[in-house]
A and B are shown apart, each in its own frame.
Chain A
Amino acid sequence: MGTVVALDSLLAAQTLWHAGRASAAALGEPTGHAALDALLPQGGWPRHALSELLLPADGVGELALLLPTLARLSQAGATVAVVAPPYVPYAPAWQAAGVALERLEIVQATPRDALWAFEQCLRSGACGAVLGWPRQADAQALRRLQVAADSGQCLGFALRDRRHAANPSPAALRLEAVRDAHGGNAWQVRKCRGGPAPARAFALATR
């Protein structure tokens, strides 16, 4: 605690914010879901940062959440990298969701190399968005990923098991998949940079 940090720089970095004052500018990357944008303090995915999605199992709507963003980025000409996916990304469905497949790059890696590849993709700055499944990542590894996303200026999405929800994470945004009252899937914000986490969950309109 030796150094004195200026308050303004903390406010600018959004690590500190005024309670009860909504941030004026929409700093985030639009998610493609208007209801979710309204819920998040930055009005979308935090830019140049890692977002963590906590899942009870694979296939609970994580891609439905992400695909509009990936479609928009890939159509704008940015490379989208998918590092060591647990299943085969099914080309006809991704294309039907609007993803420009010319810009979608699949990286196959063994679990040992997947974390390395994920970090390389984030850090390089060559990608607009990177999806990864860091399975055995500890807090230190996630911190590295967060810094890599920051220096590479891209959107990082780490998809992990829900049991990691109890552990602290350096990710700028944490979303957890939960069951809502109607038995459908919804996304609960667990942590977000730039404001208090909203209490309301967000349910995808159509699945």
Chain B
Amino acid sequence: MLWACVLLPQLALDAVLRRCPDPQAPLALVSGPAQLRTLQAVNAAAAAAGVRAGMRLTAAHALLPGLALVEHDPQAEARWQRFLAAWAYRHSSLVSAQWPGCIVLEVRASFALLGPWPRIEARLREELALLGFSHRIGLAPTPRAAQVLAGLRDGLAVTQPAAMATLLDRVPVARARLPDDAGERLRHMGIGDLRTLRALPRDALRRRFGLPLLDHLDRLYGQADDPLAYYAPPDHFDVRLELGYEVESHTALLFPLRRLVGDLCTYLSVRDGGVQRFVLRLEHEEGHSDVAVGLLAAEREPALLFELVRNRLEQVRLERPVVALRLLARELPSFVPAARDLFDPRTRQQQPWPQLRERLRARLGDTAVHRIAPTCDPRPERAWRPLQGDEARIGDAAPGLPPRPAWLLPQPVPLRDPRLRIVSGPERLESGWWDGDDARRDYYVLETSQGQRAWAFAPPGEQGGWMLHGWFA
């Protein structure tokens, strides 16, 4: 097995920075009680001004009055680590987010699919950069060694166990990620690197430092199994994005929304699924309002989904300021990409019908686009029904009826024309006694003075009081 480790040195900060419209502005994460605010992490712009992590907030303010502050949230860190584990799951089936601040994944099994390590590494780096997370990557035959090597130098890759052992022997104890404060204590005892440490008698080590140190060493060198808690992807998507300020306009919501939809699509493509129904929850100081987005077929195209949410969002009136966005998708059906004929005469850049349909539905309403199907009811107003969605087959109408008009009026209206001529008829229609909508009519085909052919009915046995019900157009 070969393990890659993706170290995320500033996970909490990146998670905040990636939703900032201007990541170049100085920013710091703060924590601690109100009297003793301490900086947890600072971005590059703040560091350039001399602000450091661990500094008191008052000191930082003295150095840089314009410093933007965001409350540090330890839970957010864990959440983003899980998100990245989901992302890594597309490159490997064995992914672990067990250790804080890093993700390890087994890559040897993926070589056949994704190509040799340099190509996988380039791919990991490219995708992480797109997602907006700074990272260091290492590769080694054991997961712990990969973690240690990634911490030593970015891009360090060892594939042979023997070479790994030689390399590990030269690692200073303080940087070998030994449990608790063992590394620091060993350094004070004058033990420089791991080779010296391993040369010490195991019994004495165990008595002084306990079993975890020996376990760690064995697992580091691959002399003992390293059971990891592997990541299993959840079956729904739920990401909440706190805005940090009150938003009252749609346009200010679009930037974070684009990120959210992008994250959703990343998640979907990892699962090789699509989304059919999701809710965008706009959280206010008190309560929340929901924007539901429903599609007729599963989709996972980021641009399309973003445009749909945007269209729906723009129809919503923001009555109260929004403080957080949350995207919830519980139904994640499997995604079937649109199949195209090899010899399709239509050109490539054209939009497929499902995309156009969602576009129309987003603006015109959920029921705006439909198909029509005949039913078996003899009453004309019930002889057809609208049909939503993709139903493959449409049945045939009842056979043997006289010709029917192509246009039907939604409601019959009186037909007043002094020069009506009866072309054919009557056709007696008597039906519907069973559902209370009883109809007894004589249908005639009439010609109007303008040359139109009308389909009109009169009470049974009469030829007058015409009610227009359709046009033979």
B347 contacts the other chain (Cβ, under 8 Å)? Answer: yes
A109 contacts the other chain (Cβ, under 8 Å)? Answer: yes
A109–B353 Cα distance when bound, in Å, is 18
Distance in angstroms from A124 CB to nearest chain B CB is 4
Distance in angstroms from B104 CB to nearest chain A CB is 45
Q: Is the CB of A61 within 8 A of B473?
A: yes
Residues of chain B contacted by A95 (CB below 8 angstroms): 374, 394, 396-397
Q: Is the CB of A58 within 8 A of B384?
A: no
Q: Is the CB of A120 within 8 A of B360?
A: yes
Q: Is the CB of B350 within 8 A of A58?
A: no
User: Which interface class (under 10, 10 to 19, 20 to 34, 35 or more) fits A?
Assistant: 35 or more
Given contacts A113-B363, A113-B364, contact A91 B374 (CB under 8 A): yes
Residues of chain A contacted by B470 (CB below 8 angstroms): 87, 90
A63–B470 Cα distance when bound, in Å, is 13
Partner of B353, one of A57, A61, A113, A126: A126
Which residues does B use to contact A, with CB under 8 Å? Answer: 346-347, 349-353, 355-357, 359-360, 363-365, 367-374, 380, 383-386, 391-394, 396-398, 401, 403-410, 450-454, 470-473
Given contacts A113-B363, A153-B346, contact A90 B450 (CB under 8 A): no
Given contacts A58-B473, A59-B472, contact A101 B450 (CB under 8 A): no
Residues of chain B contacted by A94 (CB below 8 angstroms): 372, 406
Interface centre among A59, A102, A113, A184 (most CB of B within 10 A): A59
Q: Is the CB of A117 within 8 A of B373?
A: no
- A residues 104-119 in Cβ contact with B at 8 Å: 104-110, 113, 116-117
Distance in angstroms from A126 CB to nearest chain B CB is 4
A56–B392 Cα distance when bound, in Å, is 38
Chain B residue with minimal CB distance to A61?
B473
Chain B residue with minimal CB distance to A85?
B407
A105–B452 Cα distance when bound, in Å, is 26
Partner of A105, one of B365, B369, B391, B403: B369
Q: Is the CB of B452 within 8 A of A57?
A: yes
Residues of chain A contacted by B356 (CB below 8 angstroms): 120-121, 124, 126-127
Partner of B403, one of A88, A93, A104, A120: A93
Residues of chain A contacted by B397 (CB below 8 angstroms): 91-92, 95-96
Interface centre among A58, A85, A95, A104 (most CB of B within 10 A): A95
Distance in angstroms from A58 CB to nearest chain B CB is 6
Starting from the known contacts A63-B473, A126-B351, 4 additional A-B residue pairs (CB-CB under 8 Å) come to: A90-B405, A97-B406, A153-B347, A207-B453
Q: Is the CB of A63 within 8 A of B352?
A: no
A79 contacts the other chain (Cβ, under 8 Å)? Answer: yes
Q: Is the CB of B405 within 8 A of A126?
A: no
Residues of chain A contacted by B405 (CB below 8 angstroms): 59, 90, 93
> Could you list 5 examples of A-B contacts with CB < 8 Å?
A94-B372, A105-B371, A107-B368, A126-B351, A185-B451
A202–B121 Cα distance when bound, in Å, is 70
A96–B352 Cα distance when bound, in Å, is 28
A168 contacts the other chain (Cβ, under 8 Å)? Answer: no
